[in-house]
């Protein structure tokens, strides 16, 4: 496949690069791991296979060979050859079919997966693009016009395309793993109890607006300053995707996929893993509402989410046997 028009910052990502944080190498990986897993599950791939993470305005992609693809995550109004195509369904594309995205309807990031995955070398056991290090993914950078990405699968899909440029296969998936409240669930951080009683009340009862300073590294929030109790200085400590830090001006920042590996700001809370997907699909100008939870609930929600992915993967594999 070839990039014929570059997007704003589209890149190759997988589950991330873990085990190297002690060396200062941040994990990177897809911002919305759940959407990435669903796109791969639709195609019968391993759920951590690399995908292309797309932001709006997104890349225009020309397929130079037939392929089986799936889209998940944000609805950026995708079309192939000008005809609208759905999310969460398998699509057989032909040589010279063009995929493009017209306007953002919901969410912030879409994911493109291909059957068999992309053919590229791993860096430190991952295909994820580390933009800071300039390594991994496709030449260690965002995708640009003229880039050609080789696909692993060389299957002949011509029998699935009788007289058509592309074909949508006739099943979809239920991509909602939960139907609960739309707040972002968090666990108290190491410095939670250094917040004043009023600051704790603010944190759990007021909306927090995502500012324009929001990217793969972190979301800065526009909020009334939160106050802390007097205390000694903090030493730099480990941080992770979803860590919520309190800045010196009383504002909050949520660390995202390209976060640094350690930081010296107070860690007042941590977004639970099962809600990273909710967080990743928020855009600048949207409000977040936080709800405190406990470890048992956080584990229950993650297990439920992963069970949902596995069930969908098995069901899609059975469906695909009729076609590939």
Give per-residue pLDDT as tens, 53-64: 999 999 999 999
User: How far, in Å, CA of 192 to CA of 45, rounded?
Assistant: 40
Q: What is the pTM of this model?
A: 0.96
CATH 2.40.100.10 residue window(s) in the chain: 184-293
Q: In the chain, what is the straight-line distance between the N-terminal and C-terminal CA atoms, in Å?
A: 20
Structure tokens at 169: 């296969």
For position 180, what pLDDT does the model report?
A: 58
pLDDT surpasses 70 at 270: yes
pLDDT surpasses 70 at 181: no
pLDDT surpasses 80 at 164: no
- pLDDT (tens digit, 9 = 90+) per residue, 19-31? 999 999 999 999 9
109 neighbors 280 (Cβ within 8 angstroms): yes
For position 280, what pLDDT does the model report?
A: 97
For position 157, what pLDDT does the model report?
A: 87
pLDDT surpasses 90 at 235: no
pLDDT surpasses 80 at 178: no
pLDDT surpasses 80 at 176: no
184-293 maps to CATH 2.40.100.10: yes
Distances (CA, A) of 296 to 44, 299, 301, 303: 31, 5, 9, 11
pLDDT band, residue 260 (cuts 50/70/90): very high
Average pLDDT over residues 255-261: 96
116 neighbors 45 (Cβ within 8 angstroms): yes
User: How far, in Å, CA of 287 to CA of 266, rounded?
Assistant: 22
pLDDT surpasses 70 at 9: yes
Average pLDDT over residues 303-312: 96
221 neighbors 202 (Cβ within 8 angstroms): no
For position 41, what pLDDT does the model report?
A: 96
Round the average pLDDT of the chain to a whole number and report it.
95
The single residue listed with the structure tokens 């953002």 is 104
Question: For the chain, percent helix, then strand, then coil, each to nearest 5?
Answer: 20, 30, 50
């Amino acid at each position: 496949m070839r990039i014929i028009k570059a997007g704003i910052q589209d890149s190759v990502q997988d589950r991330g690069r873990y085990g190297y944080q002690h060396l200062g190498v941040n994990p990177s990986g897809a911002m919305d791991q759940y959407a990435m897993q669903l796109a791969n599950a639709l195609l019968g791939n391993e759920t951590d296979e690399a995908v292309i993470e797309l932001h709006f305005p997104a890349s225009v992609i020309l397929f130079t060979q037939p392929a089986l693809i799936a889209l998940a995550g944000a609805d950026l109004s995708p079309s192939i050859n000008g005809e609208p195509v759905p999310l969460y369904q398998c699509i057989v594309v032909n040589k010279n079919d063009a995929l493009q995205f017209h306007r953002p309807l919901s969410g912030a990031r879409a994911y493109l997966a291909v059957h068999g995955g992309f053919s590229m070398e791993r860096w430190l056991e991952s295909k994820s693009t580390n933009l800071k290090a300039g390594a991994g993914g496709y030449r260690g950078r965002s995708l640009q016009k003229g880039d050609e990405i080789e696909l692993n699968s060389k299957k002949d899909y011509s029998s699935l395309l009788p007289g058509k440029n592309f074909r949508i296969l006739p099943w979809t998936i239920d991509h909602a793993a939960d139907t609960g409240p739309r707040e972002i669930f968090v666990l108290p951080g190491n410095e939670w109890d250094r917040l004043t009683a009023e600051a704790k009340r603010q944190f759990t009862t007021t909306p927090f607006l995502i500012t324009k300073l929001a990217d793969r590294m972190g979301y800065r929030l526009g909020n009334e300053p939160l106050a802390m109790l007097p205390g000694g200085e903090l030493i730099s400590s480990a941080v992770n995707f979803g860590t919520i830090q309190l800045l010196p001006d009383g504002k909050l920042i949520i660390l995202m996929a390209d976060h640094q590996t350690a930081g010296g700001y107070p860690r007042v809370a941590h977004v639970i893993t099962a809600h990273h997907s909710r967080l990743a699909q928020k855009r600048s100008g949207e409000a977040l509402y936080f709800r405190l939870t406990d470890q048992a609930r956080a584990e229950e929600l993650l297990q439920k989410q992963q069970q949902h992915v596995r069930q969908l993967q098995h069901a899609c594999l059975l469906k695909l046997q009729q076609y590939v």
